[in-house]
Amino acid sequence: MNKKLVAAISIISAQLIYAGGDISPVEPVVDTPAVIGETSYNVALKAGTLGLGLDISHMYTENFGLRLNINGLQYNDNRDVSGINYDTDLKLFTAGLLADYYPLENNFRVSAGVYYNDNHADGTYTPDGTFSFGNNTYTASDIGQVDAGVYYDNEIAPYIGIGWGDRTNSKGWHFTVDAGAMYQGSTQVYANATVKNPLLEEQIKQDIEVERLQIEDDIKDYTWYPVFMIGFIYNF
């Protein structure tokens, strides 16, 4: 190699070194996506068969998250039907902890968990005229009112379902829906009558019991409570 060329290369190299020059290759800049689970907290407002609902959830991995769910509703219905005044209160309250698994690359999820179940209905029925209980007919002078209600065996009710959520960490509002079933167990019915005619007290109690057992038998197969909730998520 020409001695002059070697000397020129040596001088240039020395100048770069003493001048603090950097001739190392430049690494390409790559945008690193945010890790799911670090910021994917969200709150959802929903409505459906459990009443009005609030979800607070968090994704722990790309496919798995936990959700705290609270729902409730109170509704009163007062009407007269065939000489009887029906004053009925429906009270819904559930609080659950659900695990969400996202098996696909979208927002479809499979959910399972447990609810504290305090759904029930109570009613007061006041006759005005002639009416029947069991196998007998009575008047308002025989019975003042009948108090009745429906409750469920399972205060702790397992749940399984599917839905559409939001497992990303993109901020803002998103759509959500859940469809499933909550195992509430057997239905319990109670009924008590205020008897005005003491001569008919035992007969009325027997007829009220006949009616209670009939209602309990009619709804005994409704051990699973259908759950359908729809709403919006806000992702923080």
CATH number for the domain harbouring residue 143: 2.40.160.170
Q: Which residue shows structure tokens 């990303």?
A: 168
Considering the domain boundaries, does residue 200 fall inside one? yes
Q: What angle do CA 192, 196, 202 make, to 5 degrees?
A: 60
pLDDT of residue 120: 92
Considering the domain boundaries, does residue 1 fall inside one? no
Instruction: Pick out the chain residues at pLDDT < 70.
Output: 1-40, 169
Domain that holds residue 71: 31-235
pLDDT of residue 5: 44
CA distances from 6 to 9, 14, 138, 155 (A): 5, 12, 123, 89
Distance CA 184, CA 117 (A): 7
Distance CA 148, CA 90 (A): 12
Considering the domain boundaries, does residue 111 fall inside one? yes
Q: What is the pLDDT of residues 4-40, one digit of tens each?
A: 444 444 554 445 444 454 444 444 444 434 444 455 6
pLDDT of residue 18: 47
pLDDT of residue 80: 82
- pTM of the shown model: 0.75
pLDDT of residue 218: 87
State the DSSP code for 128. -
Residues in the chain: 236
